[in-house]
């Protein structure tokens, strides 16, 4: 345990973003604490469903995490306002190596990553509408709340330093607003991620982490053919980690910037491209992320 502690202490999470993944995040956003997700608080016709399949890759130093992700979203009536429930099933492959404290840490693992369940409910400005009613809807101000949870069902080996599963839960409550100005939508959201401990880390050690608090903002432009493009930014802080109660990292303080574009192929299908990068990292856990997602819309009278 002393040797392991010295390895971590040598560079304070020198593995960077991919070790941050292992410490309690799941796909599809790769590092969920650093996720940049536009249009969480938006309106859509009740009864509509979205099924998606995507590919994403994150790179940090010599480490690469490749993931394939399936997702299902359902729009429902939440007391007169619209809400959505999303289930995400990720599969990841993690490879790379790094020298930490004079030792080489190799990563070569793949398998199911921790599934993610997320619910978002609008409180104001997004009435629950049928598909026909929605055609005349014009957004002004939307206020909503969300709650996400990561379920520790991913592949985990307590003899490995790096895994695709985290072997612990997290929950993330959030609050956000969205304001329409002509073809633009401007969003601001805040959230906190709260982790349980991994009590079987590297042969029975206990790995714990303080909450991570984040804020993100988006400027989204809608085209007449319903395509849209966004410019995104997120800031997060906190997340100091402990091994058996002893601190092994400092607080994070990171900025990330990115962009997302969604383009309709036809009435039911669309393609989404996304990219983001770390602009500032206090604890050397920045990474570059690229992804592509296909989405199919069905139900609700389509």
d(CA 14, CA 32): 19
Supply the pLDDT for residue 107: 72
Supply the pLDDT for residue 17: 36
pLDDT tens string 69-127: 999 999 999 999 999 999 999 998 888 877 666 666 677 789 999 999 999 999 999 99
Helices then strands, counting H and E runs in the chain, come out as 3, 17
Supply the pLDDT for residue 133: 95
Domain total in the chain: 1
Supply the pLDDT for residue 120: 97
- List residues bridging with 230 in a β-sheet: 220, 260
Q: What is the mean pLDDT of each run of 10 residues along the chain (302 residues)?
A: 38 36 35 71 96 90 86 97 96 79 73 94 98 95 97 89 86 97 97 94 87 96 95 92 85 90 96 90 75 94 69
Whichever domain contains 136, its CATH number is: 2.40.160.40
DSSP characters for 87-151? Answer: EEEEEEEEEEEEEETTEEEEEEEEEEPPPEEEEEEEEES-B---HHHHTT----EEEEEEEEEE-
d(CA 95, CA 108): 5
Residue 141 domain boundaries? 2-299
pTM of the predicted model as reported, rounded to 2 decimal places? 0.85
Query: Is there a contact between 183 and 225 (Cβ–Cβ < 8 Å)?
Result: no
pLDDT tens string 42-82: 999 999 999 999 999 988 777 788 889 999 999 999 999 99
d(CA 174, CA 231): 20
Instruction: Tell me whether the omega of the peptide bond preceding residue 28 falls within 30 degrees of 0, making it cis.
Output: yes
Supply the pLDDT for residue 35: 67
């Amino acid at each position: 345990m002393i040797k392991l502690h010295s390895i971590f202490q040598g560079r304070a999470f020198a593995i960077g973003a991919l070790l941050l993944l292992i410490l309690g995040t799941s796909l599809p956003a790769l590092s969920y604490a650093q996720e940049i997700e536009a249009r969480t608080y938006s309106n859509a016709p009740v009864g509509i469903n979205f099924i998606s399949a995507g590919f994403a890759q994150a790179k940090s130093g010599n480490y690469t995490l490749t993931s394939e992700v399936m997702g299902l979203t359902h729009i429902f009536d939440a007391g007169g306002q619209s809400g959505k429930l999303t289930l995400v099933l990720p599969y990841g492959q993690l490879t790379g190596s790094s020298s930490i404290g004079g030792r080489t840490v190799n990563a070569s693992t793949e398998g199911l990553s921790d599934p993610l369940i997320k619910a978002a409910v609008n409180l104001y400005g997004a009435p629950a509408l049928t598909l026909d009613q929605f055609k005349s809807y014009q957004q002004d101000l939307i206020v909503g709340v969300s709650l996400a949870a990561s379920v520790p069902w991913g592949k985990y080996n307590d003899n490995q330093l790096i895994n695709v599963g985290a072997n612990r839960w997290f929950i993330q409550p959030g609050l956000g607003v969205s304001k329409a100005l002509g073809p633009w939508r401007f969003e601001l959201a805040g959230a906190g991620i709260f982790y349980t401990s991994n009590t079987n880390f590297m042969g029975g050690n206990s790995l714990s982490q303080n909450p991570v608090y984040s804020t993100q903002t988006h400027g989204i432009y809608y085209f007449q053919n319903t395509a849209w493009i966004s410019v995104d930014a997120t800031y997060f802080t906190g997340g100091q980690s402990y091994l058996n109660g002893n601190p092994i990292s400092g607080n994070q303080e990171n900025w990330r910037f990115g962009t997302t574009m969604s383009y309709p192929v036809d009435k039911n299908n669309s393609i989404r491209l996304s990219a983001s990068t770390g602009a500032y990292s206090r604890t050397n856990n920045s990474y570059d992320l690229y992804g592509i997602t296909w989405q199919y819309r069905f139900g609700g009278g389509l």
